[in-house]
Structure 1
Amino acid sequence: MLFQDAMSAALAEHGIDTIFGLVGDGNLFVMDSFRRLPGTTYVGVANEASAVEAASGYANVTGRLGVATVTHGPALTNTVTPLVDAVKARLPLLLLAGDTRPDDHLHAQNVPQREVVAAAGAGFEPIRAPSTAAVDLATAIQRAYAELRPIVVNMPAHFQWSETEYLRAPSRLVDGKGVRPADDAVEAALGVIADANRPLVLAGRGAIDPAARAAVLRFAARIGAPVGTTLKALDLFRGEQHNLGIVGTLAHEVAQSTVAAADCVIAFGASLNRYTTVNGSLAEKRRVVQVDDDRRSLGRYVAPDAGVLGDAAWTADAFVRLLDEAEIKATRFASPELAAELARPIEAPDRSDGGYIDIRTALRRVEETVAADRTVVTDSGRFVYHAWPAISVQNPRHFVHTANYGSIGLGMGTAIGAAVGRPDHPTLLVTGDGGFMLGGLNEFSTAVRHRLDLIVVLLNDGSFGAEHIQLLRRDLDPGLSLFDWPDFGPVAEALGGRGHTVRTPAELDAALHRLPDRDRPVLIDVHIDPNQVS
């Protein structure tokens, strides 16, 4: 058997059927072998960075391992930014990277790949010999899940076309779900909870599965607590009458005042980072109980008064049982009055004027028009502070943002992976003009080639927004941040998609109402005023 066939067989044996990539000398024949296997999908992208972004989007929405592939040297260095983003997101990924021959140190594309990977914070797992391909791959997959980060599988290019015996390697994955908390940890946490008069329950990405959601809601009802989420658990409690929505820097006024009044926060599957805690203020003057099934998350950003290593559903139900046994009464913090306040609609005047659409108006109409079962992906930029609270999802897993590293330009690649992961549902990408030009324009063509059901809402203020506002605040000329971009509607048409350029609410409505008839990716270029984005 040839090395490339051994690698593709090993990938298939581990259930990997979808790979995003860009081929070159170091991975060409491995991918050619893989794509000829029945039931496999290879999605070719235009830039190596987008392969990793797409693997991230796919992993986020499916819960499966995201896999990307690139060749050696500059191809690998092109992936550094999305690798760092995935490291910061603690997302298990696999990147199959070619490498130059170790004895050819003068090869133009030679670079110390292990050091490049280490600098990004990812893991490095070499294929030691053609005969060890299966066991090395199994090790890399186990590490990706255990370490919660991307692992780069290094494949020397000269292994391709080498004859080898295929030696199967079984999966090394161990199911880590259902971690039962220690009794003493549960009792210590319950002592904190029982003393609370105004408790708040917070859920993060680690508590979004249906069993955890149901158990956390039972616990919140048992102690009379309102519920809220981190950004990555967006809309987990949508429809619940005491749902505060996103807690932290994005919280609305009612949520802010409720959090300020709380005397105890019980967090399930939430890391309690600086954004959720508003630079740690959430833990000031109130006690904190943190529950997580990953030991590394406990106390990572905030020192809790009680930490419980355990599955969210198990722990929440254990709390309820002990509360019932002790006959501890529920508080009235989740009151009818709070429910009435939360039900009151938030009014926002439309400031569309002079060829620009108010960003809030634009997002509200997108929210109302695009099918509710959508997948939502956002690029990064100033616009997200409006977009994240405005655009809803039916399941938190169907929401992906690319702001883990603060880089713009990762949204389109991520949306491609998300669209492949949920092919029977539309994918909505909300992006800024700067991010679209940096990393989206080339991959819009990729979405067209693969006939993906992708809707791109481009919030176009003709600027790099964060820099624009900084210059204005110092009474400086914002010219450095402003750009005379092309008209993106015709550009989308030239790339084989459908394009609309809109400058008024009426034009936006017309474009949105054509969406049900789409037969290819659609881009809506929404012109907004850079001076009206907060």
Structure 2
Amino acid sequence: MIAAEAIIKCLRREGVEVVFGYPGGAVLPIYEYLRQSNIRHVLTRHEQAAGHSASGYARAAGKTGACIVTSDPGATNLITAVANAYMDSTPIVAITGQVRSGLIGKDVFQEADIIGSTASFTKHSYLIKDAEEIPRIIKEAFHIASTGRPGPVLIDIPVDIQNREIDFECPKEVNIRGYKPNINGHKLQIRKAVEAIKRSKRPLICLGGGVISAKAQKEVEEFIEKGKIPAVHTLMGKGSIKDKNLYYLGLIGSHGSCHCNKALANADVLVLVGARAADRAIRDKSLFSHGATIIHIDIDPAEIGKTLNSMIPVVGDAKNILKQMTQHMEPLDTQEWIQEINSWKKEGDNGSKHSIGVDPRDVMSILSGKVDMNAILTADVGQNQIWAAHNFIIDGDRKFITSGGLGTMGYAIPAAIGAKIGEPNRQAIAVMGDGSFQMSFNELGTLIQENLKILFLMFNNSRLGMVRELQTNARWDTFGIELPNNPDFMKIFEAYGLQGARVKTNDEFKSALDKALISDKSFLIECIVDPNLSTL
């Protein structure tokens, strides 16, 4: 069997139904057998979008995403998407073409060291030198990407290797020496954690993206409801708990709610679950100088103690550990503690209400009341991301997908495309600013090609709003952030045969949203926003 055919057969055996890609000379043998297969190929308009779409697909469908691009410029264009998947623990397998193996290192046409370039932000990577190893490597790649702490795995395949004859035999099992993720958690550490929580007067649980990766939302709610423990979440942890839960507080961090950050600073026991405690979530580590007991639950032991001094580490899968903790948990007297937090929340709610033009906070609340209970929202990076994180209501089986760790502008559109392909029966919404829209609106071509319906919501303030906000908060003059010559976004949508509406008030938004929801095509609602509006 030709190695390229073996690659496609291995992908099918791993359950791959969709591949996002962009062909080129170094992957043409793979594409020939991909053409003959029943795997759906989605031609994106940029290699970075192939990676972001694979990421959106993975996070929406709960599967490992797959993408294929050619060597050098194709592979280097993919790098940002790979780094994004790594930072957000998203399982994707990226296959890149490479120049002929005998020419590697000679700076020939379209050669780049993609393994070296991505070494620091892939979970694992392979440069295939022996075609006979292809079945083993592909099976290992999908196993590594999807187990333990999920992440991207890259496979670089020289074009001559793709054309070699091999004796095809796909391994039935994976046994990688040194790679045995601990998923159950140490029983003694679990008991220590529960006893520390029982002794606390001001417990707080902080939920990260690892809860969602572990599909542990049900276990989270059972644990906090049994213990009567208030809960906050990081940006990546939005969706780990429903907003209507009695113990739900909101988002922490540099763009979080004041009362949530105060609760974080005043807790005597903090339980981190699947959260990295990175700088955007906990910027000031001195918050814990008062001696709070920190319990850190994470499947990746490297994350425990990396940024906070965890007194009780528990390594394992959040779903399994929370089940065990709930069994030993009992109701706590947290009424006074919760009342104190609620008083902080009321103080924060006394601020003035925005009244000029479209209010993005109202827009997200209105949207929450109209869309399906299983809708998927992808948020780009910038003020739009924070407005969505605070005001889009998680209820039912809704999902919130964004670029958290890397903060990649241009993420929302290709991620929404991947999410809609992964979950075709769900509503898909992509939220972005005018700056981020212009980084990936070329993917509207992919949207049309795949006949997808997505609601696009753009907040247009004719500038890079978050950068302006950061400059203003630092008491610097604003510089390099204005976008005074923005195009007519309605005409861009019309050029792709799509519909849209530009709105300047909340009432106009309501009418446009009703129109968008009954449309049989993708629809853009462009909201004109006060350029000086901040996220909080």
TM-score, normalization by structure 2: 0.88
In the alignment, is residue 197 of structure 1 matched against residue 201 of structure 2?
yes
In the alignment, is residue 107 of structure 1 matched against residue 108 of structure 2?
yes
Q: Cα offset for 1:482? A: 3.0
Q: Name the aligned partner's letter for residue 226 of structure 1.
A: P
- In structure 2, do the counterparts of structure 1 residues 295 and 42 end up closer, same or farther at CA, with 3 Å as the change threshold? same
Q: What are the residue-to-residue correspondences of 1:334-373 with 2, within 5 Å?
A: 337=339, 351-353=354-356, 356-373=357-374
Q: Name the aligned partner's letter for residue 219 of structure 1.
A: F
User: Partner residue of 1:509?
Assistant: 510
Q: Name the aligned partner's letter for residue 297 of structure 1.
A: E
SS at match of 1:232: coil
Structure 1: how far apart are the matches of 2:489 and 2:187?
A: 59
Q: Name the aligned partner's letter for residue 454 of structure 2.
A: L
In the alignment, is residue 98 of structure 1 matched against residue 94 of structure 2?
no
User: Partner residue of 1:184?
Assistant: 188
User: Partner residue of 1:312?
Assistant: 318
User: Partner residue of 1:284?
Assistant: 289
In the alignment, is residue 271 of structure 1 matched against residue 263 of structure 2?
no
Q: What are the residue-to-residue correspondences of 1:344-423 with 2, within 5 Å?
A: 351-353=354-356, 356-394=357-395, 398-423=399-424
Deviations along 1:415-468, whole A, 9 cap, x unmatched? Answer: 211111111111111111111112x21012211211112111111111122343
Q: Cα offset for 1:203? A: 2.5
Q: Which shifted more, 512-521 or 155-164?
A: 155-164
SS at match of 1:114: helix
Q: Cα offset for 1:74? A: 0.8
Deviations along 1:111-146, whole A, 9 cap, x unmatched? Answer: 223222326556321232333321221232233345
Deviations along 1:318-369, whole A, 9 cap, x unmatched? Answer: 4454456xxxx7223477847976998958866454xx42332333333333
- In structure 2, do the counterparts of structure 1 residues 220 and 20 end up closer, same or farther at CA, with 3 Å as the change threshold? same
User: Partner residue of 1:163?
Assistant: 165
- In structure 2, do the counterparts of structure 1 residues 471 and 149 end up closer, same or farther at CA, with 3 Å as the change threshold? closer
Q: What are the residue-to-residue correspondences of 1:113-262 with 2, within 5 Å?
A: 113-118=114-119, 120-121=121-122, 123-145=124-146, 148-172=150-174, 179-208=183-212, 212-235=216-239, 236-262=241-267
SS at match of 1:458: strand
In the alignment, is residue 521 of structure 1 matched against residue 490 of structure 2?
no
User: Partner residue of 1:530?
Assistant: 531
Structure 2: how far apart are the matches of 1:269 and 1:218?
A: 17
SS at match of 2:5: helix
Q: Name the aligned partner's letter for residue 153 of structure 1.
A: I
Structure 2: how far apart are the matches of 1:492 and 1:160?
A: 40
Q: Name the aligned partner's letter for residue 74 of structure 1.
A: P
Q: Which runs of 5+ in 2 are unaligned?
A: none
- In structure 2, do the counterparts of structure 1 residues 521 and 218 end up closer, same or farther at CA, with 3 Å as the change threshold? closer
Q: Retained in 2: the 8 A contact 1:179–1:310?
A: yes
Q: Cα offset for 1:178? A: 8.6
- In structure 2, do the counterparts of structure 1 residues 282 and 55 end up closer, same or farther at CA, with 3 Å as the change threshold? farther
User: Partner residue of 1:458?
Assistant: 458
Q: Cα offset for 1:376? A: 0.8
Deviations along 1:86-124, whole A, 9 cap, x unmatched? Answer: 121222221111111133435321222322232655632
Q: Which shifted more, 489-498 or 136-145?
A: 136-145
Q: Cα offset for 1:21? A: 0.5
Structure 2: how far apart are the matches of 1:197 and 1:87?
A: 37
User: Partner residue of 1:70?
Assistant: 69
Q: Retained in 2: the 8 A contact 1:373–1:393?
A: no
Structure 2: how far apart are the matches of 1:349 and 1:372?
A: 31
Task: Choose which of 312, 330, 333 in structure 1 pairs with 2:332.
Answer: 330
SS at match of 1:4: helix
- In structure 2, do the counterparts of structure 1 residues 280 and 501 end up closer, same or farther at CA, with 3 Å as the change threshold? same
Q: Cα offset for 1:400? A: 1.0
SS at match of 1:187: helix
Q: What are the residue-to-residue correspondences of 1:13-24 with 2, within 5 Å?
A: 13-24=13-24
Deviations along 1:259-286, whole A, 9 cap, x unmatched? Answer: 4442111222222222333432553322
Structure 1: how far apart are the matches of 2:111 and 2:421?
A: 33
Structure 2: how far apart are the matches of 1:95 and 1:485?
A: 34
SS at match of 1:530: coil
SS at match of 1:77: helix
TM-score, normalization by structure 1: 0.89
Structure 1: how far apart are the matches of 2:471 and 2:338?
A: 46
Q: Retained in 2: the 8 A contact 1:352–1:504?
A: no
Structure 1: how far apart are the matches of 2:271 and 2:521?
A: 45
Q: Cα offset for 1:233? A: 2.4
User: Partner residue of 1:80?
Assistant: 79
Q: Cα offset for 1:257? A: 4.0
Structure 1: how far apart are the matches of 2:32 and 2:464?
A: 40
Q: Which runs of 5+ in 1 are unaligned?
A: none
Q: Retained in 2: the 8 A contact 1:267–1:290?
A: yes
Q: Name the aligned partner's letter for residue 530 of structure 1.
A: P
Q: Cα offset for 1:14? A: 1.5
- In structure 2, do the counterparts of structure 1 residues 80 and 215 end up closer, same or farther at CA, with 3 Å as the change threshold? closer
Q: Retained in 2: the 8 A contact 1:180–1:311?
A: yes
- In structure 2, do the counterparts of structure 1 residues 339 and 16 end up closer, same or farther at CA, with 3 Å as the change threshold? same
Structure 2: how far apart are the matches of 1:309 and 1:94?
A: 25
User: Partner residue of 1:27?
Assistant: 27
- In structure 2, do the counterparts of structure 1 residues 314 and 288 end up closer, same or farther at CA, with 3 Å as the change threshold? same
Q: Retained in 1: the 8 A contact 2:512–2:525?
A: yes
Q: Name the aligned partner's letter for residue 83 of structure 1.
A: V
Structure 1: how far apart are the matches of 2:109 and 2:438?
A: 29
Q: Retained in 2: the 8 A contact 1:185–1:306?
A: yes
Q: Name the aligned partner's letter for residue 388 of structure 2.
A: A
Q: Which shifted more, 168-177 or 452-461?
A: 168-177
SS at match of 1:79: helix
Q: Cα offset for 1:509? A: 2.2
Q: Retained in 2: the 8 A contact 1:72–1:110?
A: yes
RMSD of equivalent CA atoms: 3.1
Deviations along 1:213-243, whole A, 9 cap, x unmatched? Answer: 4444343344432222222221413322121
SS at match of 2:249: strand
- In structure 2, do the counterparts of structure 1 residues 338 and 427 end up closer, same or farther at CA, with 3 Å as the change threshold? farther
- In structure 2, do the counterparts of structure 1 residues 275 and 102 end up closer, same or farther at CA, with 3 Å as the change threshold? same
Deviations along 1:466-522, whole A, 9 cap, x unmatched? Answer: 343456675746465333111101210111222222223333222111123222221
Q: Name the aligned partner's letter for residue 193 of structure 2.
A: A
SS at match of 2:26: coil
- In structure 2, do the counterparts of structure 1 residues 171 and 63 end up closer, same or farther at CA, with 3 Å as the change threshold? farther
Structure 2: how far apart are the matches of 1:323 and 1:383?
A: 39
Structure 1: how far apart are the matches of 2:458 and 2:23?
A: 30
> Once the two structures are aligned, what percentage of the paired residues are identical?
22
User: Partner residue of 1:57?
Assistant: 56
